[in-house]
């Protein structure tokens, strides 16, 4: 079902760039303006200059952040800062990180090309809604650069761990990269370029269904770019470079796979008052009040503990607001009577985030889908303490906290052909940008390059 293929990755040439820590970056959609500036300052060749180039007030159709990104890519290829690997390979990756208790985990996966298919084929399955603006942005970047700069992060079922064992058994023993990234995570990257072993991976993946974990915008962009290039080059055929997209694949059974919650922060919400909200919310929810008294760290812990405990009993969420001297934890009683909730299908009804989206944001607060599609109206934050701090310091009006969505819920929703609200999951660690690049239109970037 799924078609994967090895590729000749474009990578940083370590004869020219000797500190990978200074040239990689997180995915574009988690980079703040402050982080963008820090990455700019870290190295003149940081991948941020291609992945998320700065806008300027003087931008024109001929000179803008997309054209500048393409210029950087072409110049770095010409200068040898970026170089194309000589042989097609799958790229085996290990990311080592610590959990909140200090225990070390390692997530294992591999970089590959994945055949781009429409969602209707039920081979690659989404689980989240996307933002219109992000898709427009990524398509402009792909058209300008002719490249996949950052990978899609996707999952596949493999209880027997056959794919990972095959990769580990045939990978080159010397890592291409071994460094600690700016987030303090150890990153190792290995090439697996043996021809017979590559074919074995292709065969093992052929019966898999792929679940997008992170990068829905990038995958929808890959579909749009493929369609765009098909119109331009109808003679190219089914194996043209734009028929594939660079993807990082991880087994759903990998013990290093972690999902964090994705909390909602509303910087501005005129006329919101916690006491008024409680009046409406108690029609649908039981709630617990956690007074903010004494040590704030202790109050935060009691809030988090109460939210976790509520999540064991039913669909729940937490609330922090600027004017309330308490935190609140809400648990759905038996389901509200509004039409939007009754129309939810199957596994969606089991999700905390659907309770928050449909009952609270839409039904109680009146924030419709058009409002929620605007990237400036809601911020999505994985750190619950940051949400609380933003609310308590007045940076945000309201914060809604959630328990993490479970991997089996992601799978159930995707298999049912359903879609969760935007930013339901936060898979951790994020896959770095800058380890591999895939040229989907080499002639656009550098006609003499054969990659």
State the DSSP string of 336-366.
---HHHHT--GGGGG-HHHIIIIIIIIIIS-
- Rounded Cα distance between 256 and 370, Å, is 36
CA atoms in the 13 A half-sphere facing the CB of 301: 5
Could you identify the residue written with the tokens 């935190």? 327
**Strand-pair category, 398-401 with 263-266:** antiparallel
Q: What does each C-alpha distance from 166 to 90, 122, 161 come to in angstroms? A: 11, 26, 9
349 burial type by CB count under 10 A (0-12 exposed, 13-18 middle, 19+ buried): middle
- Rounded Cα distance between 153 and 278, Å, is 39
The answer to whether the Cα torsion of 121, 124, 128, 132 is positive or negative is: negative
Residue 214 bridge partners (DSSP): 153
DSSP 431: P
- Rounded Cα distance between 51 and 140, Å, is 11
DSSP 116: -
- Rounded Cα distance between 90 and 222, Å, is 20
DSSP 264: E
Digit-by-digit pLDDT tens for the chain (451 residues) are 899 999 999 999 999 998 999 999 999 888 889 999 999 999 999 999 999 999 999 999 999 999 999 999 999 999 999 999 999 999 999 999 987 778 899 999 999 999 999 999 999 998 776 767 788 999 999 999 999 999 999 999 999 999 999 999 999 999 999 999 998 999 999 999 999 999 999 999 999 999 999 888 899 999 999 999 999 999 998 889 999 999 999 999 999 999 888 999 988 776 678 888 888 888 889 999 999 988 899 999 999 999 999 999 889 999 999 888 999 999 988 654 444 555 667 788 888 998 888 888 888 887 766 655 555 678 888 899 999 999 999 888 899 999 999 989 888 888 888 888 878 888 889 999 999 999 998 666 544 455 6
Could you identify the residue written with the tokens 């911020």? 379
CB 431 within 8 A of CB 30: no
């Amino acid at each position: 079902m799924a078609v994967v293929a090895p590729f000749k990755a474009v990578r940083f040439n370590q004869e020219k760039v000797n500190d990978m820590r200074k040239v990689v970056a997180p995915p574009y959609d988690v980079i703040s303006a402050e982080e963008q500036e820090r990455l700019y300052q870290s190295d003149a060749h940081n991948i941020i200059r291609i992945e998320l180039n700065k806008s300027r007030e003087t931008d024109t159709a001929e000179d803008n952040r997309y054209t500048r990104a393409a210029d950087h890519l072409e110049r770095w290829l010409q200068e040898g800062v970026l170089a194309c690997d000589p042989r097609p390979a799958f790229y085996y990756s290990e990311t080592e990180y610590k959990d909140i208790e200090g225990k070390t985990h390692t997530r294992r996966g591999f970089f590959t090309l994945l055949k781009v298919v429409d969602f209707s084929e039920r081979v690659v399955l989404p689980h989240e809604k996307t933002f219109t603006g992000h898709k427009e942005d990524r398509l402009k970047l792909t058209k300008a650069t002719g490249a996949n700069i950052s990978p899609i992060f996707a999952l596949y079922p493999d209880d027997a761990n056959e794919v990972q064992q095959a990769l580990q058994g045939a990978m080159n023993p010397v890592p291409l990269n071994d460094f600690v990234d700016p987030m303090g995570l150890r990153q190792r990257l290995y090439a697996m370029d043996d021809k017979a072993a590559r074919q074995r991976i292709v065969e093992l993946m052929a019966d898999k269904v792929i679940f997008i974990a992170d990068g829905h915008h990038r995958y929808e962009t890959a579909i749009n770019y493929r369609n765009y290039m098909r119109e331009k080059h109808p003679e190219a055929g089914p194996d043209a470079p734009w028929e594939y997209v660079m993807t990082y694949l991880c087994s759903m059974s990998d013990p290093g796979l972690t999902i964090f919650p994705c909390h909602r922060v509303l910087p501005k919400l005129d006329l919101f008052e916690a006491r008024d909200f409680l009046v409406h919310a108690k029609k649908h929810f039981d709630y617990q009040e956690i007074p903010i008294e004494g040590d704030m760290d202790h109050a935060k812990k009691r809030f988090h503990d109460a939210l976790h405990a509520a999540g064991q009993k039913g669909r729940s969420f937490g609330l922090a607001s600027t004017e309330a001297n308490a935190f609140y934890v809400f648990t759905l009683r038996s389901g509200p009577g509004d039409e939007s909730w009754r129309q939810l299908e199957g596994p969606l009804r089991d999700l905390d985030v659907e309770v928050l989206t449909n009952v609270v944001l839409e039904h109680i607060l009146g924030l419709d889908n058009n409002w929620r599609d605007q990237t400036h109206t809601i911020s999505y934050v994985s750190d619950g303490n940051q949400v609380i701090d933003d609310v308590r310091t007045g940076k945000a009006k309201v914060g809604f906290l959630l328990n993490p969505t479970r991997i089996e819920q992601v799978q159930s929703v995707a298999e049912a052909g359903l879609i969760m609200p935007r930013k339901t999951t936060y898979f951790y660690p994020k896959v770095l940008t800058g380890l591999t690049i895939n040229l989907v239109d080499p002639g656009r970037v550098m006609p003499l390059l054969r990659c």
